[in-house]
Structure 1
């Protein structure tokens, strides 16, 4: 496999896979391909998938691999321009006005020019992302976009089109070099097609058993081989049943870590019941797996792994 030099954009799909693997992120060919193309074409990458499958981690891995700052806009209901783009430091402005008045300054235009200058501007993630110089464009993570409303989504569409923001008092600030944009969504609502058209798209799915086993081997090196296999097989089976919230890769890692800290070498019903809170996050799911269904699941896992040898 090709090698990737830290700080430089990958020049091939193989080099993109090597870049991710160097940061212990195991990606398939499809993800490596769309990521390589997003970097090459300078297009935002729109990542969709269930919570906990590693969408956010891709942005973190990119920032480390490319030696770029990571700027994260964590989306939530009610997110507005003042929280996402910029706002003025009103307390400092009021103090400046009072100091100017105390000094006898009466020129209103001069005072206004002073208080609406860069030193009173608070740059929020969007403005930070487009303000970096050439060669240091950050990785801009817009996380969980589906949590915002359509009005903010429409504003973001404008930003992603031109990578510029207009501040009435200062004028238009345009990126010297567009940031590397990663957008994630858990698909709690549909994102408008107009925004998706500006992006390359990839659905991030749960990993297959072999891939998840390798993730555990890398992320939880103290976990025994037997326990790792049982944990992965158990989680894979859990995802096949009708739970309110399936465990993601992050929960698999947490569970394997917890079991290792408890010095467990293999799964048993009591251990599973005692540690389900690290794997499942809803009481109805926990209550269901604590009972006969969970024991049946474990028996099937043991039989399956025994048959594999």
Structure 2
């Protein structure tokens, strides 16, 4: 289980905390996360799929030694799946036992049936339970997949860290959970919910930070391969004609796949053969493989040679 870990006291400590969990954040993200933790406000993270939004909650749970409660959102998500439901089978058994014992006082039986022992707690209620290690990390993942009715329900949870159950009353947490909300922006989230959160757009990392991420996550990958993989992905993201640009998750998957194939550098044939790891739509694969792949690789090599020439000239001895 382990002991309770204190929250970071500065932006630098927040950066260090994330880094200790293998997450290389930029300062802007660390700043808003630090404020979210200190102000006890939910953090609303928006961005393309695969840029590392969900991973932030996982890293916080690991580094702060808190339980992670994950509410995976989907179309049709309702209160019985997200918050609570009654154990109807156990309630029926209770009714039969009461009838057999001749104790069928309607009012007392109703009170007994709707007591906490018959309550099945789903993620929202679980997130309101504080442990000896502190409040849980509550991940509301891909909120944009649900409907506006469920959004409206969440307002009470996000504002007051409580849930109202008609048969029991209001259940309130002793300490607000550390709430991370993610969305891929497939639809707009209502302003009423956003107002209750701090907001941050998680963008694709620049080449330098993405290379550090690959080197951190895949220390066994060849240096040249890691550099070329990152450079190739960065070039792909400049192509606005792609249906779905690759995220950091895809970069790591591709670097892992190429390492498994014992590749030490990119070549056009191997890139075309493994594009299905990096791109998830056939139209995108058809667009990139072949001549487009060779063109990108040639561009990457030219840039690498140019940088090497500049670096060499800077170190040339002067007369």
Instruction: From 167, 170, 181, give the equivalent of 2:168.
Output: 170
* Distance 1:137-1:251 versus aligned 2 partners, 3 A rule: same
CA contact (8 A) 1:43 1:198 kept: yes
Structure 1 segments (4+ residues) deviating >6 Å: none
| Conserved? CA contact 2:53–2:182, under 8 Å | yes
Judge which range, 41-50 or 109-118, deviates more: 109-118
Query: Counterpart of 1:115?
Result: 113
CA displacement 1:170-221 (0-9 Å, x = unmatched): 1111111110111111111111111111111111000000101011111111
- CA–CA distance in structure 2, aligned partners of residues 298 and 100 of structure 1: 76
2:229 aligns with: 231
- The 5 A counterparts of 1:37-52 are 37-52=35-50
Higher-Rg member (1/2): 2
CA-CA distance at 1:66 after TM superposition:
1.0
Instruction: Check whether the contact 1:134–1:177 (CA below 8 A) recurs between aligned residues.
Output: no
- Identify the residue that residue 98 of structure 2 maps to in structure 1: 100
CA contact (8 A) 1:6 1:65 kept: no
1:26 counterpart SS class: coil
In the alignment, the residues of structure 2 paired with residue 72 and residue 204 of structure 1 have an alpha-carbon distance, to the nearest angstrom, of: 20
The number of aligned residues is 305
Taking structure 1 as the reference length, the TM-score comes to 0.95
The root-mean-square deviation of aligned C-alpha atoms, in Å, is 1.4
**Runs of at least 5 residues in structure 2 that lack an aligned partner in the other structure:** 309-319
Contact map agreement 1:133 1:176 (CA 8 A) in 2: no
List per-residue Cα deviations over 1:145-185 (Å, max 9, x = no partner): 11111111111112211111111211111111110111111
Question: What secondary structure sits across from 2:9 in the alignment?
Answer: coil
- Return the TM-score normalized by structure 2: 0.92
CA contact (8 A) 1:52 1:249 kept: yes
Q: Is the 8 A contact 1:68 1:137 kept in 2?
A: yes
Q: Distance in 2 between matches of 1:158 and 1:170?
A: 16
8 Å contact kept, 2:4–2:133: no
Separation in 2, partners of 1:218, 1:131: 34
Q: CA deviation at 1:135?
A: 5.4
Question: Following the alignment from structure 1 to structure 2, what is the Cα–Cα distance between the partners of residues 118 and 260?
Answer: 52
The residue correspondences of 1:69-148 to structure 2 (distance < 5 A) are 69-133=67-131, 136-148=134-146
Give ranges in structure 1 of 5+ residues lacking alignment. none
Name the residue aligned to 1:247.
Answer: 246
Does the aligned pair in 1 maintain the 2:66–2:133 contact within 8 Å?
Answer: no
Instruction: Determine the C-alpha separation between the residues in 1 that align with 2:140 and 2:232.
Output: 33
Q: Secondary structure at 1:183's aligned position in 2?
A: strand
